[in-house]
């Protein structure tokens, strides 16, 4: 198995983040620093991150990291960035969910000014499946928009697909819940996708919040508050991302946020 993929499966980080850990020289194999995430490893290799072993017992680290995976739901406030660390010292989603002894990572991204539901976990495989476009896990947003009452023609364009600079979007679920407020469900994960779609149909977004991710809804979780998901909720997430929608295997790669 490739080193980057193994780190993700061990729950250290998403595949993209795991590859960066390797590039940054933080991963060793059998006592030697490795900077190639494509390096093959086997069960006989001692893989460590920052000098600590990974889950899985002898050969794959000796269990210094917790072996029970956790998933948290967080209602992200505006001004908080969706990263584990920030070089500009802005508050991060990870800082809002203290979990001793674990390395939590956000599942996908929300823009700094976007609020709402974001997941944090130490389960790299689940994070990959929830965010990779091939699994088509739905994400639902509530958008307050400018431009007056949203017309049926604008809603139809959202539902049929909107031509953006990076191509035609897939059909989205779109309904008007107030004259200037929309509920939009997408199955892709392009950068700032919902904002760009709304602007393209003549209704720039004033305020955006994610209210659902797959089968999980934000419900009454307060702004800035978090809670650990139950085993049943985690299982529902796994089922929602059980296999790619096109029946193929998803390969790791760049996974942009909405």
- N- to C-terminal Cα distance for the chain? 31
Whether pTM exceeds 0.95: no
CATH class, range 138-213: alpha beta
The active-site residue out of 45, 111, 123, 125 is 111
Q: Is 219 marked active-site? A: no
DSSP 220: T
Domain boundaries, the chain: 3-53, 71-134+216-240, 138-213
Q: What is the largest CA-CA distance in the chain?
A: 63
CATH of domain 3-53: 3.10.290.10
Question: Considering the domain 71-134+216-240, what is its CATH architecture?
Answer: 2-Layer Sandwich (3.30)
Q: Are both 71-134+216-240 and 138-213 of the same fold?
A: yes
Residue 10: count other Cβ atoms within 10 Å of its Cβ: 23
Per-residue pLDDT of the chain in tens (258 residues, 90 and over written 9): 888 888 877 766 677 888 888 998 888 998 899 999 999 988 778 888 877 777 554 444 444 555 568 999 999 999 999 988 888 889 999 999 987 667 888 999 999 999 999 999 988 888 888 988 888 999 999 999 999 999 999 999 999 999 999 999 999 999 999 999 999 999 998 899 999 999 999 999 999 999 999 999 999 999 999 999 998 999 999 899 886 665 554 544 333 345
């Amino acid at each position: 198995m490739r080193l980057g993929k193994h780190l993700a499966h061990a729950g250290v980080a998403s595949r993209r983040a795991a590859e960066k850990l390797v590039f940054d020289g933080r991963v060793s194999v059998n006592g030697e620093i490795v900077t190639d995430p494509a390096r093959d490893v086997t069960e006989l290799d001692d893989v460590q991150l920052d000098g600590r072993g990974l889950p899985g017992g002898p050969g794959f680290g000796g269990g210094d990291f917790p072996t029970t995976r956790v998933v948290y739901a967080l209602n992200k406030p505006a001004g908080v960035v969706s990263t584990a660390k920030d070089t500009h010292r802005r508050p991060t989603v990870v800082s809002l969910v203290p979990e001793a002894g674990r390395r939590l990572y956000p599942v996908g991204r929300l823009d700094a000014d976007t609020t709402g539901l974001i997941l944090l976990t130490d389960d790299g495989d689940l994070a990959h499946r929830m965010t990779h476009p091939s699994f088509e896990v739905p994400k639902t947003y509530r958008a307050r928009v400018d431009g007056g009452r949203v017309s049926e023609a604008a809603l139809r364009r959202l539902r049929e697909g909107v031509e953006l600079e990076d191509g035609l979007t897939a059909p989205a679920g779109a309904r008007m819940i107030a004259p200037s407020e929309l509920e939009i469900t997408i199955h892709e994960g392009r950068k700032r996708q919902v904002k760009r779609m709304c602007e393209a149909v003549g209704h720039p977004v004033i305020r955006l919040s994610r209210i659902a991710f797959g089968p999980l809804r934000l419900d009454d979780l307060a702004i800035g508050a978090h809670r650990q998901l139950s085993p049943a909720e985690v299982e529902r997430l796994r089922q929602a991302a059980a296999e790619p929608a096109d029946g193929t295997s998803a390969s790791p790669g760049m996974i942009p946020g909405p």
